[in-house]
A and B are shown apart, each in its own frame.
Chain A
């Protein structure tokens, strides 16, 4: 089944404890990205990657890191999480470098206390 998977789906952690949210797609998509969704602010792009080893900042990159060492994986790293990073996170992918239909993962609910 063609899909985007994220792990974990739910995570409660404490301020300053490094964490990684994994994202994987099995559709051989070139483009992958991360979004966060917050009440009243909608979905905003954190980082995106047009291909392996090519990443760039979105609208809200502060406090996050990404890497794209393999085409299928695009992990999101929070080196020192803070309570303002409590959010619902989505990973997405699309076939082409841009314009193609975006497919979203199931989301990761992160709470930082």
Chain B
């Protein structure tokens, strides 16, 4: 099956800092999504981004499908950005998740 690797596994930020999360995948995919799992366990859709660049407030994402990677940018981080960020790719009727990046933003 397809392999999805996220880096770094853990990230500690001071409030106001910027960061980049990376997702690499081992095969061509039909789509890619980024999620944020909050401390209550809920999965929040951030981006549906099979290719190209999208922005939503302080967050943006870029997917380069031909090179099999996606990046999630967090700018001016806030404590509410803490949680686990997952990348997931769709192939063969299945969404395969990476292991996630745990982000801790300190005040």
Q: Taking beta carbons and an 8 Å cutoff, which residues of A are in contact with B?
A: 31, 33, 35, 42-45, 48, 50, 56, 58-59, 88, 90, 92, 97-104, 106-107, 109
Among A31, A42, A97, which residue has the most Cβ atoms of chain B within 10 A?
A42
Distance, CA A101 to CA B45, complexed state (A): 9
A6 to chain B, nearest CB (A): 11
Asked if A92 meets B95 with Cβ closer than 8 Å, knowing A101-B31, A103-B45, the reply is yes
At the interface, is chain A mostly helix, strand, loop or mixed? strand
Q: Are B98 and A42 in contact (CB under 8 A)?
A: yes
- Give me the 6 closest cross-chain CB pairs, A-B, nearest first: A101-B48, A99-B30, A104-B43, A43-B97, A107-B41, A99-B31
Residue of B nearest to A45 (CB): B94
Q: Taking beta carbons and an 8 Å cutoff, which residues of B are in contact with A?
A: 1, 30-31, 33, 35, 41-43, 45, 48, 50, 86, 88, 90, 93-100
14 contacts between A and B (CB under 8 A): A42-B100, A43-B88, A45-B96, A58-B94, A90-B43, A98-B90, A99-B90, A100-B31, A101-B45, A102-B90, A104-B35, A104-B45, A106-B41, A106-B42
Asked if A50 meets B93 with Cβ closer than 8 Å, knowing A101-B33, A101-B48, A102-B33, the reply is yes
Q: Are B33 and A107 in contact (CB under 8 A)?
A: no
At the interface, is chain B mostly helix, strand, loop or mixed? strand
Q: Are A42 and B43 in contact (CB under 8 A)?
A: no
Q: Are B31 and A45 in contact (CB under 8 A)?
A: no
Distance, CA A102 to CA B94, complexed state (A): 10
Q: 16 new A-B pairs (CB below 8 Å) besides A31-B93, A88-B41, A102-B88?
A: A35-B95, A42-B86, A42-B97, A43-B86, A48-B93, A50-B93, A59-B94, A98-B90, A99-B30, A99-B50, A101-B31, A101-B48, A102-B90, A104-B42, A104-B43, A107-B42
Among A31, A48, A99, A103, which residue has the most Cβ atoms of chain B within 10 A?
A99
Q: Are B30 and A98 in contact (CB under 8 A)?
A: yes
- Chain A hits for B100, CB < 8 A: 42
Distance, CA A33 to CA B41, complexed state (A): 18
Distance, CA A102 to CA B46, complexed state (A): 11
